[in-house]
Structure formats: C-alpha cells, structure tokens
Amino acid sequence: MASDGKPAYQPKDAISASVRSTMIVGGAGLFLSAVQNSLTRQNVTGWGVLTRTGGTIGVFAAIGGGYEFARVAAANLREKDDAWNPTIGGFVGGSIVGLRYRSFPAVLGFGALLAIIQGTFDYTGGKMTGFARDAEVDEYERTEQVRRNRRRPIEETLHELGEGRGIYGPGYQERRAERLKKRYGIDVPQPA
C-alpha cells in the first residue's frame, strides 16, 4: 500500500497493449476502408480496399497503437493512473491524424483536440453511462431506496395534477358514481 491509502501502481505492458489496440482499431479502419471502397463510383475490385482506400487502415491502426502506447507508457513512467495518461495518449493519436495534412498547425490542433476530448472523458468517469455504481449494493435495494427517498405524498400530487390519467385519490369511485348520477342519471355499480 502506498502512504496515502491508495494501492501501489502496477506497471502494465505497453507493447502488448499497443499491439492489441493496433489490431482492434486497424480492424475498424479495414471496415471503414471497405465501406469507402464500396461507395466509389468507379468499378474497383475487392483489392481496392487495400490499394485504393488502404491508407484509412494504416491511419486508424497508427492512431490506435500510438494512443495506447503513449497512454500506457505515460502511466508507467509517472507511476499514476489518472486523467493525464489518456490526455497524453490523445495528443499522440490526434497528432497522427494531423500528419495526414502535412502541416505543423494541423498536427498540434488535432493533437490538442483529441487530448482535450480523451482527458475530459476520462476525468468525468470514462463511461457514457456515468460513474460506476457500488458493486456491494444490490440494485433492487438501491432502486427501492431511491423510490422511498423521492416519493411524494398522494395529496400533494393530486393537488398539483388533479385526478385522472392513472392518478386517483381515496374515494374516487364514489365521487365518480355520484357525478355520473347527477349529470347523466346513470347508476354506476360500486365495486365490492
């Protein structure tokens, strides 16, 4: 254990992580290259995925590998697992995107853009669904606790919304039967 109560940093293998990421993101690039190839107006063969639009595969693979290597290497060198590691990796990945434009401002701009996006995403929890919930707490019990905590009295709801639309107060059936008898002269049988 570290002195501040957090577990000590465990180094990760940057090479294997970057190779795995290169293969995954390169596969996504292959898929995108195949889509680009199928949408061309010229009649190109199936090899056009590699020859005509194959640069997409290389760029995607380089972005994925560069990002993951820089992220894991930064974590290993700093011996910390925080939001700065994806920021550093995002800068490297974005810079690879900028290299296609052969301009230094594009390299810096795309690098900064992806660094900001990745760093912010990781800093805010790293999930599209929000922060992870406590695995120790039963989800049903948590939901029931939230319902009990947020429940409002029926009188308050009836006062704000009125009766109807699935919201009925005590004695509603009797009031309804009386109202129908008064307006239309219809006797509504009371439920037992």
- What is the per-residue pLDDT across 2-55, written as a single tens digit (0 to 9) for each? 556 678 889 999 999 999 999 999 999 999 999 998 898 887 788 888 888 889
Can you give the pLDDT at residue 154?
Answer: 79
Task: Look at the block and give the residue holding tokens 């049903």.
Answer: 140
In this prediction the pTM is: 0.66
Q: Nearest 5°: phi and psi at 117?
A: -65, -50
Phi-psi category of residue 132: left, alpha or beta, with phi > 0 → left and psi -120 to 50 → alpha = beta
Residue ranges in the chain whose pLDDT is less than 50: 1
